[in-house]
Chain A
């Protein structure tokens, strides 16, 4: 019977640093395990990542050889697969490497029916559990613990967005109320002034009592009419024909 693989006390987890793309709808990132497999791994060994649905992780059985590794395209039926086959040296303490592993980032291998380990996008939000498995020539040599369930993001439909403003802004309220009141005051004032004038003219009241603005009149100076003096003439006019004051006819 093959020896059971050593259980390493490492728990795979999401990277602790703030990354916006840590978990998307079809991918997630894991912190790269460092120094975890030192002491168990030879130079020819490979570290695989086993991904299973959270409720199927208990039923997962380690493959005994590389030929038995469940491929990516059987994830819907087998409820698990293994991917990210990497040389064990990449996870050693001294290896300089990016601090995160991205699961699901390879869209090219999805279409082709390759048997190679495919790091294809995950088909559903999950939740998923993962563990690392150190595979040697004769089978699994070490494994980590299963991770906590990782739930991927679900996108909402844009029809749930309501673009209407929640409540009218303060600017609108201020402008509307002040303008409405100004307009009402003006309308009232005009109607009141017109009404007062119409009322005044109907009742024939003295119009000049409360006017204080006088137009500039162009006044004509009309001198009082003076009696015209009669021109002294040789002829005597018969009495009664002249309208002026009676005067004795001047001597011719």
Chain B
């Protein structure tokens, strides 16, 4: 009898520890998703222009799931300590609902990360950079973001300056190919912002133009956000799965 009591106490201890971890992870998930939702610098205008707000939806769900996990973990600890069937049943059912929501958030974030291919940004850049349409404010945002991106990261285009040669673009309609094989921002600029050697830049002499593509500079921060939401949520769910299985086993052993 004493051995069974020891086993019970060990199970209780494990469940309480598991719920403590879930509570802390819930707080961390909430904090991280608030950061993702509010972080709007860098290449964010490009994402907004793609009209793909999945990462925002996933982050908003993550905020509420995190708070729910924290509250449910406290409920779980109380239920385990008091060995109450009702409390634990409520805990299990609410945890399953939270599990389903967090599953949706993870899969949405992973899908969003998948959809951010170089071709997506290439098409957007070709169609909207320097479109010079005064009515559409979002095109100005795209132009300003790309200019800032190319200036700060010393890059050009998505895959390289040849993007501007391989494809027609809104930029090409207003800037002739002979004068602007690629935008001025692709040239190496001096302190005043004018090209160091304009002819060298137009010809593509190395050292006078930026030959790298900007895709790495875009996908780096965006991937950090998406991976944070998707994979951290996935890790929490794996841990929650184990704790829930233990709780169900504990619940089925409580006598009335």
Contacts and interface: CB of A to CB of B under 8 A. Distances in A.
Contact of A193 (B106, B162, B168, B251): B251
A22 B117 contact: no
Contacts, number: 157
Contact of A105 (B7, B93, B103, B202): B202
B9 to A, nearest CB: 10
Contact of B168 (A18, A102, A157): A157
Contacts of A106: 178
B241 to A, nearest CB: 5
A27 B177 contact: yes
A47 to B, nearest CB: 20
Interface stretch (A69-77, A133-141, A180-188): A180-188
Interface string A178-206: 11101101110110010011000000000
B120 interface: yes
Interface in A117-154: 120-121, 153
B167 A207 contact: no
Interface string B114-134: 110101101100110000000
Given A175-B234, A179-B234, A165 B115 contact: yes
Interface in B218-242: 230-231, 234, 237-238, 241
Contacts of A171: 110, 113-114, 230-231
A176 B110 contact: yes
A105 B200 CA distance: 12
B177 A186 contact: no
B40 interface: no
Given A193-B248, A210-B253, A213-B254, A179 B168 contact: no
27 contacts: A22-B203, A24-B178, A24-B181, A25-B165, A27-B178, A102-B199, A107-B179, A153-B165, A153-B166, A155-B167, A157-B168, A161-B167, A162-B119, A163-B123, A164-B115, A169-B110, A172-B110, A182-B241, A183-B100, A186-B96, A190-B96, A190-B248, A207-B256, A211-B254, A211-B255, A212-B8, A215-B83
Given A155-B167, A213-B8, 4 more contacts: A20-B162, A158-B169, A175-B106, A211-B255
